[in-house]
Structure 1
Amino acid sequence: MKPPREGEVRLGYDPALDPQAGLHFVGVIRSDWAEGTAPKNLRLSREQGGGNARIEMKPEFAPALAGLKAGDWVMLLYWTGEARRDLLVQHPRHAEEPRGTFALRSPARPNPVALGCVRIEGIEGTTLRIDATDAFDGTPVVDIKPWIATVDAPAT
């Protein structure tokens, strides 16, 4: 395990070892990104062309795609399971001071679920082409949820 940076605080145990930590992945993200080449976030991914982003769903989940179409925005939840899970306070390289994990979008968190709002560019069988991802190729997909403006847009 990497040593903490100045100001970081670790949890006293590894949440990955908890027997309640079970999930069933519904697919996998395909992209041009790998460790060391992936952009830090979706904005940067879009600026770099999106990474040839696709979601390959498991065939048994094909019926769950009914109602989705090109142009739809969806919230993609994906599993960054190789990330650290023991940090309560982190010191990002871009920040002057440490911050609590829940105040960051870092993949290092007790439950390494990442969230991205992405646009479906097209659907071919069980593959969804999306506008961008910041995920490494092969990242497991936890869930896909539609972005619904009347529900998800913050009140102004």
Structure 2
Amino acid sequence: MSGPDDDNQLRQGEVAVALPPNADAGVFFIGTIHTPWRVRGECPKRGTLDGPLCSIVVDPRWQQALTDIAEHPRIQVLYWMHRARRDLVLQTPIRTGQTTGSFALRSPVRPNPIASSVVALVAIDGATLKVRGLDCLDGTPLIDLKPDRRPPG
């Protein structure tokens, strides 16, 4: 039985396609993100810099890559939305009810479920970063971290 939170059911107007048989490239997950959210419906649509405190745990082999990251009050976090379906080309968001192309949406449902958030770096303890501003599920794989050098505002 499916319900309104069943992310695998097509909504009216949605179109799914067959995925390619093989991937074109590989990605190394460099850590794991821990947030308060367990299901997609709990996640904020976009994180805010005053949102809940979340943890980014970097794999120990990559810990040296965190050198000097504390000099950046905001960082860009790239992550893999591992529980999102990847086959929709047209989606009908519940919020609008309007069928729209996947590339015209910020939905996690896309061929390559890569997300990006700019977060406030609150603290660092070894290979664990405490941040505010994420919008992903607990256990989300981390792809990369980059300093955000844009002026605040």
Coarse TM-score class (shorter-chain normalised): 0.7 to 0.9
**Structure 1 residues 23 and 88, CA gap change in structure 2 (3 angstroms):** same
* Partner of residue 53, structure 1: 54
Give the structure-1-normalised TM-score. Answer: 0.83
Contact 2:8 2:85 in 1 (8 A): no
Q: Deviations over 1:62-110 (max 9, x none)?
A: 1111121166211111111211100011110111411111111111000
SS in 1 for 2:121: strand
Residue 26 of structure 1 and its aligned partner are, at CA, apart by 0.5
* Partner of residue 74, structure 1: 75
Q: 2:46 aligns with which of 41, 50, 53?
A: 41
- Count how many residue pairs are aligned between Structure 1 and Structure 2: 145
* Partner of residue 6, structure 1: 12
Gaps of 5+ in 2: 1-6
Residue 20 of structure 1 and its aligned partner are, at CA, apart by 2.4
Query: Superposed, which structure 2 residues align to 1:88-127 within 5 Å?
Result: 88-127=89-128
Alpha-carbon distance in 2 for matches of 1:112, 1:93: 19
Give the structure-2-normalised TM-score. Answer: 0.84
Alpha-carbon distance in 2 for matches of 1:145, 1:3: 35
Matched residue type, 2:138: D
Q: Please tell me the root mean square deviation across aligned C-alpha atoms, in Å.
A: 2.2
Contact 1:71 1:121 in 2 (8 A): no
Alpha-carbon distance in 2 for matches of 1:19, 1:121: 36
Alpha-carbon distance in 1 for matches of 2:72, 2:142: 20
Moved over 3 A (4+): none
* Partner of residue 132, structure 1: 133
The structure in which a higher percent of residues are helix is 1
Alpha-carbon distance in 2 for matches of 1:80, 1:72: 24
Gaps of 5+ in 1: none
Contact 2:92 2:99 in 1 (8 A): yes
| Sequence identity percentage | 37
